[in-house]
Chains A and B, each alone.
Chain A
């Protein structure tokens, strides 16, 4: 009996979290149990109340009493999934930028045994992605490769899937946006079998406003550099 935990970090996403949860697939190929783990990262806009309103028995709500950032929230979701014995973990953005059917797409290489960690890449087919986002993402892909020696076409993707060995071994230590590059580092550090799956990004005014800007890319680089300097 295989279980998949969909981990959704959410910080002040009250406007969209309900719709994101309702749109999640009811079934996934080869999966007997789905759990949706929403990590409310210290939201102040009633995100937790919106999650509670969703009539879905699969939903688990974990609440951070303080905002700890994307990495902190993903780490909490992963720790919970590990404790509950999840077979697969999928990380999924709360802002509605992922297509629900892409969850099956990132799980496929895991079920087939072709990979232990999968990143859903928006840049294999970047149709509809603003050019400045493509530019910023390639810059961070290059820096991730330079720092950690592993190339991926979308190091900053929020849609990822991990199998059992990845869940057990990946140790998330970075608290903020730089965690996306840290996942790539961890995949390389533990020599996990890696694959990319093409996914579609849905850009709305809301997701563009909430997502990473190119200015954030500089913050991410600075934080990655500081983590390296401090030997994290």
Chain B
């Protein structure tokens, strides 16, 4: 029973977040419908877990609970992979930017001392 209550609360929280984002204009109508169905479906399925067994048999696992667990793990792994990839791209872009600035502002310290008023060489 506790699991059912927690799942429903989580689904309601997720739906509330989607609605707030929609009101702020950050979400398309199609998106709110998609995520609304996903979270409402999750909230509903905990009350009729046996219904998920048909789906489980369809994808080749023994029970609906196992199917949901596999799908959740696969989804999380994919999300982590995407996050790693995104962070790697951002790191690389940051390095490019820092590099560009460093090269554009290259200093020749001895020349700069000889000509104190001159801008950095290179």
In angstroms, Cα B102 to Cα A76, docked, is 8
Q: Is B95 an interface residue (CB 8 A)?
A: yes
Stretch touching chain B among A47-55, A122-130, A199-207: A47-55
- List the A side residues contacting B98 at CB < 8 Å: 64-66, 68, 72, 76
Contact among B85, B95, B106 with A68 in the assembled complex (CB-CB below 8 Å): B95
- List the A side residues contacting B75 at CB < 8 Å: none
Interface string of B87-117 (1 = CB under 8 A from A): 0100110110011011101111111000000
- List the B side residues contacting A72 at CB < 8 Å: 95, 98-99
In angstroms, Cα B110 to Cα A59, docked, is 8
Interface string of A172-191 (1 = CB under 8 A from B): 01010000000000000000
B103–A59 touching, CB < 8 Å: no
In angstroms, Cα B107 to Cα A80, docked, is 12
- List the B side residues contacting A229 at CB < 8 Å: 81, 84
- List the A side residues contacting B88 at CB < 8 Å: 226-227, 230, 232
B122–A60 touching, CB < 8 Å: yes
- List the A side residues contacting B109 at CB < 8 Å: 51-52, 54, 59, 61
In angstroms, Cα B119 to Cα A135, docked, is 49
In angstroms, Cα B102 to Cα A65, docked, is 8
Q: Is A209 an interface residue (CB 8 A)?
A: no
* Contact of A59 with B108 at beta-carbon distance under 8 Å, contacts A68-B94, A230-B85, A230-B88 already known: yes
- List the B side residues contacting A80 at CB < 8 Å: 103, 106
What's the minimum C-beta distance from B90 to chain A, rounded to whole angstroms?
A: 11
Interface size bracket, B side: 20 to 34
In angstroms, Cα B111 to Cα A62, docked, is 15
- List the A side residues contacting B91 at CB < 8 Å: 175
- List the A side residues contacting B94 at CB < 8 Å: 66, 68
Apart from A60-B106, A227-B88: 20 A-B pairs, beta carbons within 8 A: A52-B107, A56-B110, A57-B110, A57-B111, A60-B122, A61-B107, A61-B109, A62-B102, A62-B106, A62-B107, A63-B107, A64-B98, A64-B99, A66-B94, A68-B95, A72-B99, A75-B99, A76-B99, A226-B84, A229-B81
27 of the cross-chain contacts (CB-CB < 8 Å) are: A39-B102, A51-B109, A52-B109, A56-B110, A57-B110, A59-B109, A62-B105, A62-B107, A63-B105, A64-B98, A64-B99, A66-B94, A66-B98, A68-B95, A68-B99, A72-B95, A72-B99, A76-B98, A76-B103, A80-B103, A80-B106, A83-B103, A173-B92, A175-B91, A175-B92, A230-B81, A230-B84
| Closest 5 A/B residue pairs (Cβ) | A62-B102, A52-B109, A61-B107, A57-B110, A76-B99
